[in-house]
Structure formats: structure tokens, C-alpha cells
A and B are shown apart, each in its own frame.
Chain A
Amino acid sequence: MTGQSPYHANYNNPVMFTDPLGLCPECPRDKRYYDSRDNFLDYEPTSYVSPNLNGNSWVHSIGRNSRVYERYQMWSDVHNLSLDEYAQKYGEAYTNMNAYWRYYEEEQMVNGVQVKRPQLIISGRVNGGYKQKPNGGSGSDPVGNDGINPIQIAWGVNGIFQMGTEIAVHGPKLKYTGPGDWTKMTRAGSKFGTRLGVAGVALTVVDASIQGEWQNHHTADVLIGSGLTIGAMIPGINVGVAIIGGVYFLTDLGVQAYSGRSITEHLFDPDPTTKGSK
């Protein structure tokens, strides 16, 4: 899906990176970089995709752990420049369109290719991926966008997820600053969830013993209780599992008080003639 995203040229991060000329990721072949075994490694990103510096230093802007930072490191090695020299030379180019174009044309001349500066494309709109109207539409649809397209929505959602992932992986490391200790809270959630699951299993076997018969809903209850117990042990999901378990437990209590039968009893043993605890 990444290859089909409208923000692919911006590394799925249009806030951080701009691609006003629409040239990436289709970079010229002579800008490709190969390793010693002639395996294609990467395009040089610096010619076309520029970080929005907004007056900040480039390291501050893109972050030391980001993918772009790694690419800077790689390409500074290729050009036999120190990282700072490389950043200074090309980082300046990014902030200045003329310098950017000077660099671009210089490079193309060095490679012996005649380059015409293309028209600036304001928006590389892609209309649903199957019906594109270059230069816009006409009449009531000047930009060539015929209503809401589900594929556009899917791309948009995908873009949001991609950006979220990018921020989560490469963004600033967030630290919990709310009340209490997050580790303690996680442990407390885990304890609550496991105890709830154990209590659920215990209540199920008690219920079966009272009824003198093991029914389908008992199996379901034991599986739910065991699942809750195990799920509440797993880091990352334990608090969510505990909350879901607590809500289910309370809902089950309410359903039992109202109808005399538990949720699983309604689902798996719907025959009202079967015995059920109050």
C-alpha cells in the first residue's frame, strides 16, 4: 500500500517533507547508489525531497534517529564529506529554491544531461487512481475531483496511519507525565485483569457444579476467563484487556440480574428449557 500512497514521494510524511516538483521517488538512474556487489541500495534523496526546516537546524528538524538522518550519513560518506559539511551544503539548498535548482542543474550538467526546469506543480492530485484529469476538470468540478472516492479515503486513512507510525518510530520519545507511575499502573491493570479472569473461571466451575451439568456456555465462560487471565499478563495490551474484562463482567452481571441468564447462556444455550442459575 505504501507504493500507492499519494504521499509516497514525501516518505508518507507530507508535513515534514515537501516534494513541490513531483520528481521523487522517480529519481534519475545516475543518482542511484550501489554497494560493492552492485546491489541497488538507494536513490540519493537530497536532490528532491527537502525537509521543512522552518528556521531550525536540519538535525533538530529531522531528528537524529530518523530515516533521513541515516540517509544523510550514507550520502555524506559517498561524497567524502563530513556529516556537518554535507548538511551545510545541501541543507542550505533545501531552504532556498534557487540554490536548490542551481544544485540540481549543476548536477545534471555534470552528468551531461540537458535539463529543463519543469513547471511548478501546485498539487499532484490523484483522482481515485483510475480516473485522472490532468489540469483539472471543468465547470462545477474545476479540480477534477468527482465527489468522495473510497480509494481516496482509504489512501487518506493509510496516510494517517503511516504518519502515525512514522511519528511513533522516529518522532520524539514521549514520556508519561500524568499522575502516578506508569509501570505501577500497568502492573495494577495486569493484577486486576488476571484476578478478574480467575474469578470468572472459578464462578463458571461453581455454576456448573450447582447445575449438575456442563453446558456449552460453561466452556465459553472458561475460555473467556482464561483468555482474560492470559491477556492481562501480556505487556502492552494488559490494561486494555483488563478494562474490557471489567466491562464484560459488569454487563454480564446486569444481564443476569435482568434475565436470569448470562450473556454466554443466551448465545450458546438459547433453549429456555435448559437449566440456568439465577
Chain B
Amino acid sequence: MYGFIYIFFYKLFERIGTVDPRDNASSIVLIAMFFHSFLFLSAINYFIGINVLVMVFGENHSKYLWLPVIIFIMFLVYRYFKKSSDRLISQYKTKSVLTIKNIVLATVVVLLPLFLGIVFLNYQ
């Protein structure tokens, strides 16, 4: 799934002409991953009633305590896509990625988890 997001946004950024399409696509993958994590945490909170982040550092702690973890995840993901971008790009070289179906799919895959997470969080 993240490979699809990467390739979709890589092709999109390449067509638009951004500064560094490979790196920029990794950024969008990371944003999608954080949205998915948010949905996961919200779903656990909604269905089981456990706030995982509060369990680790206690209630009302600063969000900046999680900054090292976020930086570590970002480092891993950027490194992974830096290494495997050639493979992914060659894999999708002949395929047409920027289709209407894929545009809708990529939008849903990236943004829907955020909206669902908000719903789970605010309507528990």
C-alpha cells in the first residue's frame, strides 16, 4: 500500500516538477503513515478504551516527548525509500499510475484514516 502511495505521488510530483520527486513522495508516505497510526490509536481508544500514548508517559504530557520517536520513524522511512525507490520506480515504469481510479484511491488511502480517526476520537 505504501509502495502504491509512493509511486503515485512520485509520478505526480515528477509531472508537476517539484524539487526532488523521490524525497517528496517519501514525505507524503510518512504523512499517510502518521494518519494511519492516528486511526489505529483512535480505534484502540474507541473500542478498548485504552489511550496508548497516555499509558506510556501519563496524562497531559507534552507532545514533544514523542519527537525523538517521530524523528526515528522519519529517519527509517526516508532511508527505506531512498534505497528502494529505484526498484519501485522500475517496477511501475511501464504502468500508467495517474488514472482517475488511482487519484481517488490515493486520496482515500491518505485522508480517510484521518477523518475516521477524528470520528473515533470525538464520538467515543
Partner of B62, one of A190, A226, A278: A278
> Is A214 interfacial (CB-CB < 8 Å)?
yes
1/0 per position for B105-118, CB-CB distance to A under 8 A? 00000000010011
Given contact pairs A205-B35, A226-B31, A194 touches B23 in the complex (Cβ within 8 A)? yes
Residues of B within 8 A of A199 (CB): 67, 70-71, 74
Residues of B within 8 A of A187 (CB): 19-20, 23
> Is B38 interfacial (CB-CB < 8 Å)?
yes
Point out which of B37, B61, B66 has the most chain A C-beta atoms below 10 A from its C-beta: B66
Q: Say how far B65's CB is from chain A's closest CB, in angstroms.
A: 9
Residues of A within 8 A of B78 (CB): 195
Question: Are B74 and A195 within 8 A (Cβ)?
Answer: yes
B interface majority secondary structure: helix
Partner of B121, one of A195, A208, A229: A208
Question: Are A202 and B60 within 8 A (Cβ)?
Answer: no
Given contact pairs A190-B24, A198-B74, A210 touches B60 in the complex (Cβ within 8 A)? yes
Interface stretch, picked from A78-86, A93-101, A233-241, is A233-241
Residues of A within 8 A of B70 (CB): 199, 202-203, 206
Q: How many residues of B contact A (CB 8 A)?
A: 40
Question: Are A202 and B27 within 8 A (Cβ)?
Answer: no
1/0 per position for B8-27, CB-CB distance to A under 8 A? 00000100011110011001
> Is A212 interfacial (CB-CB < 8 Å)?
yes
1/0 per position for B58-82, CB-CB distance to A under 8 A? 0011111011001101100010000
> Is A89 interfacial (CB-CB < 8 Å)?
no
